[in-house]
Amino acid sequence: MDWFYSHRYTIGIVVGVVFGVVTRLNMLRTDYRQYPTYPHGKIIHISLGVIAAGLGAVAVPALLDKNYTAVTFLSLAAQQFRDVRNMERQSLTKIDELELVPRGAAYIEGIAMVFEGRNYLVILSAFLASLFSILFAWYWGIVAGILSIFIANYFKSGNKLGSIADIEAVPLRMDGPDLFVGHIYIMNVGLQDSRAKIAEHGLGFLVKPKNRNARVTLANLGQRQAILHDISTLFGVYRDEGEPSLRPMAKLDMNSGTIGVLLLPQEKDVEKTTIALHRVPVLESAVRMPSEAGVNKQKGS
């Protein structure tokens, strides 16, 4: 016991760093969007996770020794992580210029924000594991570290499209050169060849908001572009550069707030596409909550 007490700072830092790195690894996924890229993108983010874990773990001994000036390095770390956010934004913006169906600025900003925020979750996890290891015992540090991983998992992802909207597959309809998804006008398709390709490969969906907050969120252009990009990434897109008539689109019915979505997947499967639409992320930058404004609240509520 004397050995554990005399080396409590070292044990606390080691436990904190370990759980900080485990937390970062747990939040690091290369999914269907292939970002971060493998292996080099992952190496960058794992390295930053190790740095963040070290900062969070070392902060506890510095505070307990009343070395408050040493904790100021956390402000320097925050600046470095903001630089990471800028780096991600610039990289994704350059890549987006080459996409057949771009992510859009709102989606890119959301990804950059996520990578910055996850480093702060790593600092929190390492800090809690280190704190409990030093103040109580190493096994309490492990318990705190495990709980912090669950906390990080809770905060690592936001709402999905299915939680704010009802999604329904509907047939495409051509009225001469005019293309409709359900009752929503999409565009004028002048070429007969393009009409035939849309009829063969196209899928139509209506995305109906569940409440007034969802209606404003779905009207956001960035959110609509995120829907088109995610589905095109999952199932491909039947188009090439220089073919504006073969472009996935999402148009708004201004009376009801419903979105008419035209998709041109290479893999045409209504059931799979419906499931994928329910899982499209709701962008933080697109979320609006007009019902929370004082002017919109009922008196006495």
Are 101 and 177 members of one domain?
no
27-50: pLDDT as tens digits: 877 655 556 666 667 788 788 888
Asked whether the beta carbons of 274 and 263 are under 8 A apart, the reply is no
Domain carrying residue 21? 2-155
For the whole model, what pTM was predicted? Answer: 0.80
d(CA 102, CA 119): 26
pLDDT at 250: 92
Three-state DSSP class for residue 170: strand
pLDDT at 76: 74
Element (DSSP H or E) covering residue 224:
helix 221-235
Tokens 């019915």, residue located: 253
Tally the domains of the chain.
2
Checking if the pLDDT of 301 tops 50, the result is no
Q: Is residue 296 part of a domain?
A: no
Radius of gyration of the chain (CA): 24
Q: What is the mean pLDDT of residues 70-74?
A: 71
Checking if the pLDDT of 118 tops 50, the result is yes
CA distance from start to end of the chain: 58
Three-state DSSP class for residue 190: coil
Are 42 and 88 members of one domain?
yes
Among candidate residues 236, 217, 204, the one with its CA nearest the CA of residue 283: 217
Asked whether the beta carbons of 128 and 144 are under 8 A apart, the reply is yes
Checking if the pLDDT of 300 tops 50, the result is no
Q: Is residue 199 part of a domain?
A: yes
Q: Is residue 51 part of a domain?
A: yes
Are 58 and 195 members of one domain?
no
Q: What is the mean pLDDT of residues 241-247?
A: 80
pLDDT at 209: 92
Q: Is residue 297 part of a domain?
A: no
Checking if the pLDDT of 109 tops 80, the result is yes
Name the domain boundary from 111, 133, 155: 155
Three-state DSSP class for residue 227: helix
Are 202 and 270 members of one domain?
yes
Are 210 and 230 members of one domain?
yes
Are 39 and 75 members of one domain?
yes
pLDDT at 40: 66
